[in-house]
Amino acid sequence: MKRRITFIQRVDASFDPQQAVLTASSLSVRGLDAAREDRITVGLDELPEELRAVLEQSHELHLRWASERSFDAAVPFSSRVSPGLHAHYTPLESESSSEALCTLLRTIVAPNKDTQFKGCSKQEESFITPPLLSTRFASSTSLQYYTYLPSIQSLVEYIQNTVCGKNRTDGSECHTRADALLSADSVDIDYDSDSHALTVSGLWNSPPTGGWTDQFQKPESAADQIEFGLLGADAGLEPEEIKMGGLLAVVGQDKKLKPTMFSFPSRHQQLTEPSSYTVSFAPPTGLHPTMSISMPRSSLKRPPAPSDATCALHTYLTLPSTIFGDQYQLATTDPLFLESHNLVALRALAGEMDLEAPDWVVQRWGSNWLLELATPPEAEDGTSAPDPSNWTATIPLHLRYLPPSETGYRTAHIPWPVVFWACTTEDDTKMSVNPFDRTNLGWDGLFGPRTLFYQLQPAGDRLVEEIDVPVLRLEGGDSYFQGKYIELGTCVVISLGFIWVLWRLARVAWLSGIGSKPAGTVHDKKE
Amino acid sequence: MALFNSPARVFLAATVLRLILLVYGGWQDAYSAVKYTDIDYMVFTDAGRYVAKGESPYARDTYRYTPLLAWMLLPTAWEGAAPWSSLTFAFGKALFALSDVLAGWLVVQLLVRCYRFPVERALRYVAAVWLWNPMVANISTRGSSEGLLGVLVAALLWATLTKKPILAGLILGLAVHFKIYPFIYGVSILWWWDAERDGSATACSDLLSKAFRFITPSRVKFTVAALASFVALNLVMYLQYGQPFLHHTFFHHLTRIDHRHNFSPYSTLLYLSAAGGAETRFEALAFLPQLILVVVALPLVLAKKSLTTAMLAQTFTFVTFNKVCTSQYFLWYLILLPFYLPSSSLIRKPTLGISAAVLWIAGQALWLHQGYNLEFLGLPSFVPGLFLAGLFFFAVNVWILGIIVRDGGEGAGEITVALK
């Protein structure tokens, strides 16, 4: 087992050497004002049997969870996914069908009793295959799954019950570390069959009140290792580079903290000027809600990418099956439609596209949409006063029919999409040398390997929108709103209508038979 | 009004109305983000493009029609420079609009030749109900294919009333291939076309020879021709496009669950039962009242008294008792109204006629108000709003149906002088 603990201090944060003290057997930090990433790498043989069975069938498995709380991402951890749990998976054998991964996911997601979220039953039934439209994807897993997940309580309990086994000597330590994940902004879990190792990363973008105070003991086993880093990040010499400097140590090996300075290319970059966006659905949402993504115009300056790079603003939507886009409507090339919504084009889509199916018929979790957004035209001369109004892109969406409920409504939870600039460069940069590199986010695989990403920061208290979906109201008890009254009412009215028409026909037949000579009318038919 | 003296002027006005709408539609499509063209037309033209590339029209999602439609719209797939491309794009709409006018012309011909209407009177009714009806012109110029059904039904009637059994059969086979529902007309026409109509009537009291006499040359020709054209068309399409053709053209319409709100009285029940909330499976029997009336009772009692009124009553019943009903379906019976209205009690007794019109419109308005509340305001108006509005609209339709049946029994819409 290997642990890597990285504290990233902002440029303006204060630091006193007394705040990080290394001894022969431990390292302690006190009141540290920093972002923090904890990364634990565990070999396959150290894992419980149940988990190993799932991983041994996997070629790649990447879980990405993001909190729905708003947070400011710190360099070099600026990449984002929509709030909730994303699973990116490639089985070892492409045709293999297994319920093991779904069983694992259900354990992690449970006890989410909200039935409108698609439970995972079998991966080929619940996962979607990205992407359908794009031909420019570089690398992505073959299957993808998403579920709304406000808290990872169940994941933490799962780790405590199975990974922090009773036979481990660091059982209580393991429990504490797992509990700490509850306050993380995002959690990544990665496995691939080449390394045969599982990596769990937690990210906290801001410290708890009073700063980070913690102690890291030298591991008892010689096979285990704890790496420590206390770093600051800054822009590198090249636009695609990040420069980092600070102190590094391996606990129990190094005598003192070693000063260091290094730089590396990074696919995820920070925008130099603060830039934010908000997401909303204008009421009344009806059955056809329109998603609005609003950004201050000042947020929409071209990112500081190399001058030869082509940059475009994108949004990547993660839509649960309750809500969907019409691929024919959104894939249009009609400039009038696109301009009226401030869209440029639909770049990629995957998942449930059925325009007619109710939610209970849809099996897979939902759909993903990559759209290129328009940006405001540059002012002719730089001297004009900045336009204070927001720039808003809108995406027309549609709701599926949901099962009846007692209130007449059901709630659809729609995570905010991510909004980012993608800048494609010509250089052949090796992004993977980045020790903090992050891939398999869903949207990154839809771009070439030489693309730089600049995230806009979502600005809101909660990064999930709730829509009240009107449904058939069915109540229990003595209420009139019961299924049986609908059945009875329909049956009675149709039957009465049927009998009425039959009665009218019977009268006609009685009065004038079924032949061609109606009684009582003069009929001068030719002889 | 002098306008109705001249068929040329009436048809010119109908054509000009459609031309204006076509040009306006092209303009709105080009300058507004809200399109005039119907979504379905985009489906047809996409399918036409697939066919032009040598692929199956069913490669387009939600293309649920015969490949004939995509073939007809092949010219819309022609690429060209700016003015040409918008002209070729409108080809299908122009075709649908032309079918409208042709259908109106056929109805006028029939009214004048078979129903002995003065030209002016025939033109007045057809113009009011069909040719100058803005709804009809709007639907076809927006690119909905329902107009094609109008011309097929008018042609079927024309071939039948002018005693061309083979042609009538061929047209019926084509119409059923196009849109299943016209099969109901086959029953009425068969029952109507007895030996008397063929002009070889001899009274016969013996039951057995009566049964034997049911088989007349015209009935046989009509049936064989209808089956032949229906089977031949389906065979060609099946050989060309295989299972997807059968699935999308026929099976989809038989197996679909229409859980979305629509005018049908079954709508709320279907939502309930599709979501698994119904205790009985009453809706599984929905075809019974519909088919008993449409296929047996109405043709049997009315067809020989007045073929067109029987067909109108059949269409009206089919739409009213159907498990799904949208406003396009109302077009299906509009083409048959000019035969019935002139001698109907709805015209003879203005109070009755106005009451029927007011109630029908009120039923629509009530439903549409509830539909608006749901669709745009997001209110859960399924119960009691949409449920009761749907049942009320059904009741109004059934009441009007009763009037049509009574009028049909009295010979309204019957040919006053048989054509020879």
Residue-wise pLDDT tens digits, A35-77: 999 999 988 888 888 888 888 888 889 999 999 998 888 888 8
CA atoms within 13 A on the CB side of A116: 24
Q: How distant, in Å, are the alpha carbons of A124, B64, B65, B181, B223 from that of B250?
A: 29, 8, 8, 11, 21
User: What tens digit of pLDDT does each residue of A260-319 get?
Assistant: 999 888 889 888 777 899 999 998 999 999 999 999 888 888 888 888 888 999 999 999
| Ramachandran region, residue B111 (left: φ > 0; alpha: ψ -120 to 50; beta: rest) | alpha
Does residue B271 sit at the A interface (CB-CB below 8 Å)? yes
Contacts 24+ apart (CB under 8 A), B14-20: B14/B100, B14/B101, B14/B104, B14/B127, B14/B131, B14/B132, B14/B137, B15/B101, B17/B132, B17/B134, B17/B137, B18/B97, B18/B100, B18/B101, B18/B137, B18/B140, B18/B141
B259 interaction partners in chain A (CB closer than 8 Å): 358, 401
User: What tens digit of pLDDT does each residue of A399-418 get?
Assistant: 999 998 888 899 999 999 99
Give the residue, A470 or A74, on which the prediction is more confident: A470
**Which residues, including other chains, have CB under 8 Å from residue B154's CB and lie 6 or more apart?**
B102, B103, B104, B106, B107, B110, B335
Q: Residue A14's pLDDT band (boundaries 50, 70, 90)? A: confident
Tell me the average pLDDT across B284-292.
87
Q: Which of B374, B384, B418 sits opposite A470 (nearest CB)?
A: B374
Tell me the average pLDDT across B56-68.
88
Classified as helix, coil or strand, A135 is: coil
Percent over 90 (pLDDT), chain B:
47
Q: Which of A336, A508, A514 sits opposite B405 (nearest CB)?
A: A508
Percent over 90 (pLDDT), chain A:
32
DSSP lists the bridge partners of residue A38 as: A5, A202
Q: Which of A328, A400, A494 is most worth mutating to test chain B (most B CB atoms within 10 A of its CB)? A: A494
B272 interaction partners in chain A (CB closer than 8 Å): 404, 472, 474, 483, 486-487
Q: What is the pLDDT of residue B150?
A: 92
Q: Which of A409, A473, A493 sits opposite B394 (nearest CB)?
A: A493
Q: Which of A487, A505, A521 sits opposite B405 (nearest CB)?
A: A505
Q: Residue B417's pLDDT band (boundaries 50, 70, 90)? A: very low
Contact assessment for residue A322 and residue A448, using Cβ atoms and an 8 Å cutoff: no
Give the residue, A441 or A112, on which the prediction is more confident: A441
> What amino acid occupies position B82?
A
C-alpha A485/C-alpha A476 separation (Å) is 11
A495 interaction partners in chain B (CB closer than 8 Å): 289
Give the residue, B115 or B366, on which the prediction is more confident: B366
C-alpha A293/C-alpha A375 separation (Å) is 12
Does residue B211 sit at the A interface (CB-CB below 8 Å)? no
User: What tens digit of pLDDT does each residue of B346-375 get?
Assistant: 988 999 999 999 999 999 999 999 999 999
Reply yes or no on whether the pLDDT at A166 is more than 80. Answer: no
Residue in chain B lying closest to A339 (CA): B33
Look at A483 and B279 and tell me if their CB atoms are within 8 Å: yes
The interface predicted TM-score of the complex, written ipTM, equals: 0.89
Does residue B259 sit at the A interface (CB-CB below 8 Å)? yes
C-alpha B47/C-alpha B43 separation (Å) is 6
CB pairs below 8 Å between A and B: how many?
195
C-alpha B353/C-alpha B278 separation (Å) is 39
C-alpha B276/C-alpha B260 separation (Å) is 15
Does residue B204 sit at the A interface (CB-CB below 8 Å)? no
**Six token digits for residue A416:** 């905010």
In Å, how far is A97's CA from the nearest CA of chain B?
27
CA dihedral A155, A159, A161, A165 (to 10 degrees): 180
Q: What is the pLDDT of residue A223?
A: 81
Does residue A500 sit at the B interface (CB-CB below 8 Å)? yes
Look at A490 and B411 and tell me if their CB atoms are within 8 Å: no
Main-chain dihedrals φ then ψ at residue A294, nearest 5 degrees: -110, 135
Look at B383 and A507 and tell me if their CB atoms are within 8 Å: no
Tell me the average pLDDT across A476-482.
65
Reply yes or no on whether the pLDDT at B39 is more than 90. Answer: no
Q: Which of A394, A472, A499 is most worth mutating to test chain B (most B CB atoms within 10 A of its CB)? A: A472
In Å, how far is B351's CA from the nearest CA of chain A?
21
Residue in chain A lying closest to B195 (CA): A516
Q: What is the pLDDT of residue A112?
A: 54
Does residue A9 sit at the B interface (CB-CB below 8 Å)? no
Helices (H), A237-361: 327-330, 335-341
Look at A356 and B62 and tell me if their CB atoms are within 8 Å: yes
Does residue A474 sit at the B interface (CB-CB below 8 Å)? yes
Reply yes or no on whether the pLDDT at B84 is more than 80. Answer: no
Residue in chain A lying closest to B35 (CA): A337
Residue in chain A lying closest to B40 (CA): A328
> What amino acid occupies position A364?
R
Look at B411 and A288 and tell me if their CB atoms are within 8 Å: no
Neighbours of A525 (CB within 10 A): 12
Name the least confident of A240-244, A512-516, B260-264, B379-383.
A512-516
Q: What is the pLDDT of residue A132?
A: 47
Look at B300 and A495 and tell me if their CB atoms are within 8 Å: no
Give residue for tokens 């009140």.
Answer: A209
In Å, how far is A505's CA from the nearest CA of chain B?
6
Percent over 70 (pLDDT), chain A:
89
Contact assessment for residue A207 and residue A33, using Cβ atoms and an 8 Å cutoff: yes
Helix or strand (DSSP H, E) at B270: helix B267-274
Tell me the average pLDDT across B225-250.
90
Mean pLDDT of chain A: 84
Contact assessment for residue B273 and residue B150, using Cβ atoms and an 8 Å cutoff: no
Contact assessment for residue B374 and residue A287, using Cβ atoms and an 8 Å cutoff: yes
Strands (DSSP E) found in B30-146:
none
Q: What is the pLDDT of residue A385?
A: 61
Give residue for tokens 């992050």.
Answer: A438
Q: What is the pLDDT of residue B418?
A: 45
Classified as helix, coil or strand, A318 is: strand
Does residue A514 sit at the B interface (CB-CB below 8 Å)? yes
In chain A, residues 341-370 whose CB comes closer than 8 Å to chain B: 341, 353, 355-356, 358, 360
In Å, how far is B329's CA from the nearest CA of chain A?
19
Q: Which of B272, B405, B420 sits opposite A472 (nearest CB)?
A: B272
Residue in chain B lying closest to A283 (CA): B377
Does residue A490 sit at the B interface (CB-CB below 8 Å)? yes
Main-chain dihedrals φ then ψ at residue A412, nearest 5 degrees: -105, 125
Residue in chain B lying closest to A337 (CA): B33
C-alpha B16/C-alpha B13 separation (Å) is 5
Contact assessment for residue B25 and residue B142, using Cβ atoms and an 8 Å cutoff: yes
Q: What is the pLDDT of residue A136?
A: 46
Mean pLDDT of chain B: 88
Q: Which of A469, A498, A523 sits opposite B289 (nearest CB)?
A: A498
C-alpha A57/C-alpha B381 separation (Å) is 49
User: What tens digit of pLDDT does each residue of B126-178 get?
Assistant: 998 999 999 899 999 999 888 899 999 999 999 999 889 999 999 999 999 99
Residue in chain B lying closest to A486 (CA): B269
Reply yes or no on whether the pLDDT at B377 is more than 70. Answer: yes
Q: Which of B276, B286, B395 sits opposite A497 (nearest CB)?
A: B395
A408 interaction partners in chain B (CB closer than 8 Å): 380, 382
Look at A401 and B266 and tell me if their CB atoms are within 8 Å: no
Contact assessment for residue B164 and residue B138, using Cβ atoms and an 8 Å cutoff: no
In chain A, residues 405-434 whose CB comes closer than 8 Å to chain B: 407-409
C-alpha B275/C-alpha B259 separation (Å) is 9
A474 interaction partners in chain B (CB closer than 8 Å): 272, 277, 383
Does residue B195 sit at the A interface (CB-CB below 8 Å)? no
In Å, how far is B183's CA from the nearest CA of chain A?
21
In chain B, residues 296-325 whose CB comes closer than 8 Å to chain A: 297-298, 300-302, 304-305, 317, 320-321
Does residue A221 sit at the B interface (CB-CB below 8 Å)? no
Q: What angle do CA A483, A363, B326 make, to 5 degrees?
A: 55
Name the least confident of A120-134, A368-382, A432-446, B17-31.
A120-134
Q: How distant, in Å, are the alpha carbons of B5, B106, B111, B290, B416 from that of B121?
A: 9, 15, 9, 34, 15
A342 interaction partners in chain B (CB closer than 8 Å): none
Q: Which of B64, B192, B196, B269 is most worth mutating to test chain A (most A CB atoms within 10 A of its CB)? A: B269
Contact assessment for residue A444 and residue A453, using Cβ atoms and an 8 Å cutoff: yes
Classified as helix, coil or strand, A49 is: helix
Look at B377 and A286 and tell me if their CB atoms are within 8 Å: yes
